[in-house]
Structure 1
Amino acid sequence: MKRLSHIAPLLLMLVVIAGCTRKADDDISFLKTATAPTDEAVNFKITNDNSGLVTITPHSAGASAYDIYFGDATTEPAHIMPGQSATHIYKEGVYPVKVVATGISGLQTDTTKQLSLLFRAPEAVTINATTEQHVITVSATAQYATGGFKVYFGEDADEVPVTIAAGASAMHTYATAGAYTVKVEALSGGAATTTATQAITIYDPLALPMTFELPTVNYAWGDFGGSATSVIPNPARTGINTSATVGKIVKNAPETWAGNYIVLSAPLDFTVNKKFKVKVYAYRVGMRVLLQLERSGDNTFQENLEAVTTVANTWEELTFDFSGKITDNSKQLQNVLFFLDNGTQGDGTNNYTLLFDDIVLTN
């Protein structure tokens, strides 16, 4: 019984101590003297790439949380804790950004700061234009052109531009061949723009007969192995050829297989006509002229014939009759090539020079 008499006072004391401790922990009387957050400030970090990305960081004394109202069409605020930031995408303009700071007591302080975004003008605008007959495809690149591009094709004075995004392209078909100016306006996403222009020429399809007289046709001959081809004023306007313009081939070293080529706009049609006729002007008798026809992009499909010049310093007509070689259009022959004295190295003199004109496919 003596032990129990000692234990009872001890338990009573522990209960009193525990009760005193809980009362200290639950004491919120200090909230009665708490104040709202003070010294509130808002910092903006604006990304200078026309993306509109802004980082908003609030600061204050005594805040336990912040609500950020972006000042644009976004209605819901961003809720962050002290030391954190909020990001938001804006369009160009001026926005009243409001920050509400809440203290531990629940008291609030708000401040509004004007955010001003002015996008920079696009830089390094480059126009990429490719043409195929009357069709043009245009794309563009630029720095800071986050708003895309407006493309003007230059055919109509009252033209409505086509707007494309970066990486996209726009196509247009011109009604007639001619010279045009393509204009591209790079858009910043705001008011600032930068304009670039490029002159382009639209050509009519390249087909036979080939006369070298049409300004709307691009007689774009290519060369290989040392051959040099050009379109020149006719230096010998006599006999069967008094036209103003002709082609000229000069065979230079080093390759014995040097030649030239041109790609027609469409494969040749041999349904009715199978004979090529070409007017030529050689500076010596006996020059061997090889005419070769190939499929565009695949020269394993080809046919060729050779003819020999019979006069010097005079226009004559050579005939290449493919009647026994070509019976249909299955090979889709589209490229026309010439080889002068194939197998012999040229020296660039008149002995290896040929004028040619009026290439026709006939029956």
Structure 2
Amino acid sequence: MKKILNILLIILILGSCTEDERDLSFVDSIVAPTNVAATYDITQDNTGSVTITPTADGASNFKVYYGDSTAEPSELAVGESVVHVYAEGTYDLKIEAFSLNGKMTESTQQLVVSFKAPENLVATVENDQAVSRQVNVTTTADFATMFEFYSGESGVSQPVASANIGETISYQYTMAGDYDIRVVAKGAAIATTEYTATFTVTEILQPVSSAPIPPTRNDSDVISIYGSAYTNVADTDTFPDWGQGGQGSSWTEFDLNGDKMLQYINLSYQGIQFGSPQDVSGMEYIHLDVWTADVDQLETSLINVAGTVTTEAPVTNDLTKDQWTSIDIPISDYTDQGLTVTEILQLKFVGTPWAAGTVFIDNIYFWKSPSNSSSLGVQDFEGTAPVFTSFGGAGVEVIANPDMSGVNTTENVAKLTKGNGSEVWAGGFFEIDSPLDFANYSKIRVKTWSPKQGVVVKLKLENADASITHEVDLNTTVANQWEELVYDFSGAPTADYVRIVIFFDFGNNGDGSEYYYDEIELVNDIGGPQPLVFQDFEGTPPVFTVFGNIAGIDVIANPDATGANTTGNVARLTKTNGSEVWAGGFFETGSPLDFNTYSKISVRTWSPKQGVVVKVKLENADASITHEVDLNTTTTNQWEELVYDFSGAPTTDYVRVVIFFDFGNNGDDSVYYFDEYTLTN
């Protein structure tokens, strides 16, 4: 009966549908609750009044058997408590925890109700071996039910935590140091018993676990500098010790149980010199994993050597202390600063605060998306937001990206809040206008952000009436940063899938955590290089040079984020009244365009006129070699994609991209927009 009632509850939550109208097969896959227990709060007034709160992972409701002469148990929902009055004595409470589908796990634990003051109190306080400044407190005592822990910190409300006798309190201090701690054991008596001591809270100043294991990548998609996952550039010097200006910091190679990593001590600035210059213009990101106890930010610079000229550009990332921070910096963050990245010879690291902390660095490599992958965007939340339907106590909305870093620097993302006490299956879905193209693609890639590592992110697809569904589970591998999860739907039944459902931390009740997701794409391994965007105007805008008496080119917010272009920023060209027939403008790329891999350039354009010539011209550095291609607009007042074939262009290093709108006609104050320059085939 309990399972039937719970399923009926799901049906009501999901829109008062009948079971035939919605697939509930996932309910049967829910596992039985785990970690079943109860916490006690006993009054110190000789009354024997005890507040009992059952807890468990994956439970929807409980039964509490008191262990005395009370015949009937109390039935409680998640988060509820019950007050029961006991006579003096020792009792075995039984807690039954039920999952949504009626699966049950039970646990029995002891409750001591004594009107005598606790005796023989033994408190064990230890520094945690894995978490910096965390202490773990356990107690034993006769005639005691629970204990409280007073941390001894000034300005902190005391006690900081309480637990049952025999359980452990884990508490993290803000700062290391000596503290006068107090442990108070309580039973049902008015009198209590205390333990006091001065305890030294310590910091962990080096990692106790290895950095995340990098994904398996093709050799052609990686240039590795340091680490054990890939083949590193030969003869690389990880401590060139440039020694300029009182550098001050030092270096060693730290060995964590056989796993070696770089350790830069009192980091002011230090660097790495490659065995040979590396052309990273075909890469998309530089990755590194960083652990620190005391550095707030790490500045990472790429240094390019071209002949006798050395140039560099920095990018700064925040670090999360006492855990690994995985950093993926887009190469465009460097090229947008004007840096050429065809001959990168050195990396430079600068710590904040200066020369006052230590960093451990592992897995340093440049990477790009698999060269044998193709993708098709499904939803990026940059245009009109889809209509979300949420269920089970979750809520979904589109917001500005709260963490524009790593693998996701887009403007908008979807936020899913799994409310405190929400169901283990809480989530949300939206529908798309046309079925997912599983004839040409077999996988779905989603960028996700989770405050927790290792939680289940379930992705489920449904046809229009939910009569055919398929779901795939993946686990997050990092916390507090973006990552890409790729779901394999090659085993999905054939259907027109138009509904995309997502669940975070599936199988556990909500605790108020917020999750984000973005950039849902169909992907496949079908051969050929992936299109490479080399200018999207989302970062630092390039320097434009205009000619022919036009008013200018500037980067603005997308005035028409619809159709073929829903990105945040675009370039605007105003062809001033009376300007020359050849009026236009250009910008320069940080590195030569890769026409060894690609043969075409696609550009998204917006024109107030149909049929006007949009000329794209490429030039080498001194404009001694050029090639141009003309295309005509086919629509008015909407975005379209124009694809220019440069397969016939002479071989050279093209670094200047020129564009002309309405070529051949004098200007009339018309405004044109362009965006998303992409190398393709």
TM-score (norm 2): 0.21
TM-score (norm 1): 0.39
Tell me which structure has the larger Cα radius of gyration: 1
